[in-house]
Amino acid sequence: MSDRNDRWGDLLRRANRGDGAAYAAFLTECAPVIRNIVRARSGGGDEVEDVVQEVLLAIHAKRHTWREADPVTPWLYAIARYKTVDLWRRRKGGTPVPIEDVAEVLPDERSGEVMAARDLAGMLDRIDARSAGIVRAVGIEGESAGEVGARLGMSEGAVRVAYHRAMQRLKEMAADETGRTG
């Protein structure tokens, strides 16, 4: 436990100072532990890996909130628990409703597609222009992350992370809309 704390602390210290290899090692070693935390709090299922990736993105986004003097494992586990609980609450927000009760209001598939395309355009207007541009280019026009990155002056990795985050936001928006109308 303490060994792990020292080792991960050392890796994250180097990572936060710009050592990419140490950072990759840190995230790779954390991932199985995070997976266990997520699984323990969700009972398994297909979405576990999605949540693990969300937790990794959260750790990435908040890695500056760890101070080198603090133990790293409590920091890491606190983020993992918070994100897991938060994401699970968002995804399983509604109580289950018997299908017969909603069958009449379920759209048929064709109109669903039209709705989806229209909603997507509407939702893209509600996220920042840069992310919307990346989603349009990668998700709709099928450009590669490398091409988009070259155009926007971002690294390929940064484009993929931005795309992943934007898609996550769009999914949340879509879930909110469904929650409101359905």
Partner 1 sequence: MKTEDLIAELAAAPAAAPPTTLERRAALGVGLGVLVTLALFLWALGPRPGLAAALADPVVAAKTVLPLVLGGMALVLALRAARPGVPGGALARVVWAVPVAVAGLVLWAFAATPPEARMAAFIGHSIAVCLPAVVILSLPIYAGLVAALRSGAPVRPALSGALAGLAAGGIACGIYSTFCVEDTPLFYGVWYSLAVCLATGLGAVIGARALRW
Which amino acid, 166?
A
87 lines the binding site for partner 1 (CB under 8 A) = no
Instruction: Count residues binding partner 1 (CB under 8 A).
Output: 45
Q: Which of residues 151-180 bind partner 1 (CB under 8 A)?
A: 155-158, 160-161, 164
Q: Which of 6, 17, 93, 102 binds partner 1 (CB under 8 A)?
A: 17
106 binds partner 1 (CB under 8 A): no
CB of 166 to partner 1, least distance (A): 13
Under the binding rule (CB under 8 A), the answer on residue 77 touching partner 1 is: yes
Segment (H or E) for 15: helix 2-16
- Residue 78 as a binder of partner 1 (CB under 8 A): the answer is yes
Q: Which range binds partner 1 by CB under 8 A, 25-33, 93-101, 107-115, 121-129? A: 25-33
Cα-Cα-Cα-Cα torsion 160, 81, 46, 172, nearest 10 degrees, comes to -60
Which residue among 70, 113, 141, 176 contacts partner 1 (CB under 8 A)?
70
C-alpha atoms less than 13 angstroms from C-alpha of 7 in its C-beta half-sphere: 10
What is the spatial distance between Cα 182 and Cα 180, in angstroms, rounded to a whole number?
6
Locate 13 and state its tokens.
Answer: 């210290």
* Residue 104, token pair as written in the block: 């009449």
Q: Are 99 and 182 in contact (CB under 8 A)?
A: no
Angle at 59 between CA 133 and CA 4, to 5 degrees: 150
Contact set with partner 1 (CB under 8 A): 15-18, 20-21, 23-24, 27-28, 31, 49, 52-53, 56-58, 60-68, 70-71, 73-79, 81-82, 86, 155-158, 160-161, 164
